C-alpha cells in the first residue's frame, strides 16, 4: 500500500542554470551536479544572451553566473533582475582578480557570490571544493526560492495581499538622531544601493555601515556606491571625524567603532576577535554608537543571514535609541532582521522600498518639532 506520510516525500530537485564562458568549466559543473539527486541542470549557457533565453525557457530556481567577461556578467544580472526581482543569482568569481566586478554585480542585484577553486588544483581537489562549497550554496538558495514561489502561489490562490509593514511600538518624545548605523549581510550591496541612492547629499547626519564582506571588497563597494549615490560614500579610515552627508563602510576584516573627543566623534578600526563569526560585526558597531550617542542613534538591520546585530540593538534600546528592521518580503535573507523583530526590540518593520524615507523621516522629525515650537500659540 502506498504511504501517505508526507515526511517521506522528496522535495523536487533544485533547477540550476549555470553561465560560464569556459566550456571546460561548464562540463565540470554539469558532471558534479549530474550525480546529485537534489539537483537538476535545466540550462547551461556560454554568454549573457544565451543565459536570458534559457532563463525564459527553463524556469530555474537558482542561477550560477560567472562574472567574466565583466560587461556581459553585469549586463546579464541587470537584464535578469528586470524579469525577476527575486531569483537567486550567485556570482562565480575569482576574488583576487574579479573583486571589483563582483561587487559591481552585487550592487546591480546579484544575490551572493562563491569563489572559484584555484586553477592549479588537482582535479579531485576541484571536484571536492565544488561539492563542499558551491553545491551547498546553490541548494540553499534554490530551496529558498522554491519556498518563495510556493508561498506566492498560496497567497494568490487565497487572494492575499502583502500588508503594509506595521509599527511594532509607538515612538514618542523622539530625540534628535545624530547617527544612523546600518548592519547588513547577504543581499546587502543591492539593498544599500537602493537605500543610499535615495538619500540626498544634504542629509544631516553620518551613516555608518557594517556589511559582511571580505577584505578589499568593501573598498570597491564604497567606490561603487560613491559613484552612484548623492552621499559621499567611503571605506572607513582610522581617526576620521564624522560629519553630515557622509557614509562610512567598515573595512573587510576590521571592526568599526566610534569615540567622542575634542575634535568631535571619530572613527576607529580594531582587530578585535570576530563576533558571530563576523569581522566586521554589526554588534560591535551598534554597541559603540550606543555608548557614544546614547539615545540619539538609529540602528537599521537589513537583509542578511544569522543574527549579527541583535545584541548591539539590545544595547541601543538600553540607551533608548531606535531600531528599524527590514521586512521579510523584501529581504534576500531574513536572518538578521528576523532575530531583531522576533526579540521584540524593533520599533518599525520597514520594506526596502520605504527604508530611505523611513530613515529620513525620523532624522528630520526633530526639525518638525522645533519648527512647531517656534510658532507662537
Say how far apart CA 267 and CA 262 lie, in whole Å.
Answer: 13
- The three cell numbers of residue 256 are 568599526
Q: The dihedral of CA 224, 230, 231, 232: what is its sign? A: positive
Neighbours of 186 (CB within 10 A): 23
In the β-sheet with 297-301, what is the strand arrangement from edge to edge?
Answer: 232-235, 246-249, 207-211, 179-184, 297-301, 322-326, 348-350
Using a 10 angstrom Cβ sphere, with 0-12 exposed, 13-18 middle and 19 or more buried, the burial of residue 209 is buried
* Residue from 20, 61, 308, 327 carrying the catalytic annotation: 308
Residue with cell 570576530: 274
Helix/strand/coil (H/E/C) assignment for every residue in 174-240? CCCCCEEEEEECCCHHHHHHHHHCCCCCCCCCCEEEEECCCCCHHHHHHHHHHHHCCCEEEECCCCC
46-47-52 Cα angle (round to 5):
110
Say how far apart CA 307 and CA 263 lie, in whole Å.
Answer: 34
Say how far apart CA 24 and CA 44 lie, in whole Å.
Answer: 12
* Beta bridge partners of residue 112, listed in sequence order: 90
Query: Is 167 annotated in the active site?
Result: no
Q: Kindly tell me the number of DSSP H helices and DSSP E strands found in the chain.
A: 12, 14
Query: Is 319 annotated in the active site?
Result: no
* Residue from 61, 72, 104, 185 carrying the catalytic annotation: 185
* Residue from 212, 255, 288, 347 carrying the catalytic annotation: 212
3-class DSSP assignment, residue 115: strand
Query: Is 104 annotated in the active site?
Result: no
Say how far apart CA 281 and CA 312 lie, in whole Å.
Answer: 9
Backbone angles phi, psi at 276, to 5 degrees: 55, 30
Say how far apart CA 317 and CA 340 lie, in whole Å.
Answer: 11
Query: What does each C-alpha distance from 112 to 177, 281, 352 come to in angstroms?
Result: 32, 18, 18
The catalytic residues are 185, 212, 308
Amino acid at each position: 500500500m502506498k504511504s501517505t506520510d508526507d515526511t517521506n516525500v522528496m522535495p523536487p530537485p533544485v533547477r540550476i542554470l549555470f553561465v560560464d564562458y569556459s566550456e571546460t568549466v561548464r562540463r565540470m559543473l554539469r558532471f558534479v551536479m549530474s550525480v546529485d539527486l537534489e539537483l537538476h541542470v535545466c540550462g547551461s549557457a556560454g554568454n549573457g544572451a544565451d543565459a536570458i533565453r534559457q532563463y525564459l525557457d527553463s524556469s530555474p530556481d537558482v542561477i550560477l553566473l560567472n562574472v567574466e567577461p565583466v560587461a556581459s556578467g553585469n549586463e546579464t544580472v541587470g537584464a535578469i533582475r528586470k524579469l525577476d526581482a527575486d531569483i537567486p543569482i550567485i556570482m562565480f568569481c575569482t576574488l583576487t582578480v574579479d573583486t571589483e566586478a563582483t561587487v559591481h554585480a552585487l550592487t546591480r542585484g546579484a544575490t551572493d557570490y562563491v569563489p572559484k577553486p584555484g586553477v592549479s588544483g588537482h582535479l579531485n581537489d576541484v571536484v571536492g571544493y565544488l561539492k563542499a562549497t558551491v553545491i551547498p550554496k546553490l541548494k540553499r538558495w534554490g530551496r529558498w526560492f522554491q519556498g518563495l514561489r510556493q508561498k506566492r502561489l498560496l497567497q494568490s490562490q487565497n487572494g492575499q495581499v502583502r500588508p503594509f509593514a506595521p509599527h511594532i511600538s509607538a515612538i514618542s518624545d523622539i530625540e534628535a538622531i545624530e547617527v544612523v548605523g546600518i548592519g547588513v549581510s547577504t543581499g546587502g550591496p543591492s539593498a544599500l544601493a537602493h537605500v543610499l541612492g535615495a538619500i540626498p547629499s544634504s542629509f544631516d547626519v553620518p551613516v555608518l555601515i557594517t556589511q559582511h564582506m571580505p577584505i578589499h571588497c568593501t573598498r570597491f563597494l564604497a567606490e561603487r556606491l560613491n559613484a552612484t549615490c548623492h552621499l559621499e560614500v567611503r571605506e572607513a579610515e582610522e581617526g576620521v571625524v564624522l560629519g553630515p552627508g557622509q557614509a562610512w563602510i567598515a573595512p573587510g576584516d576590521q571592526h568599526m567603532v566610534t569615540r567622542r573627543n575634542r575634535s568631535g566623534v571619530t572613527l576607529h578600526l580594531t582587530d578585535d576577535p570576530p563576533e558571530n563569526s563576523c569581522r566586521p560585526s554589526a554588534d560591535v558597531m551598534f554597541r559603540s554608537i550606543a555608548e557614544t550617542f546614547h539615545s540619539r542613534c538609529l540602528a537599521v538591520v537589513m537583509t542578511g543571514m544569522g543574527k549579527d546585530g541583535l545584541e548591539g540593538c539590545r544595547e541601543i534600546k538600553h540607551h533608548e535609541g531606535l531600531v528599524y528592521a527590514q521586512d521579510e518580503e523584501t529581504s534576500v535573507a531574513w536572518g538578521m532582521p528576523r532575530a531583531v523583530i522576533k526579540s521584540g526590540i524593533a520599533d518599525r518593520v520597514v520594506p526596502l522600498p520605504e527604508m530611505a524615507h523611513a530613515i529620513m523621516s525620523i532624522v528630520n522629525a526633530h526639525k518638525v518639532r522645533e519648527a512647531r515650537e517656534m510658532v507662537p500659540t
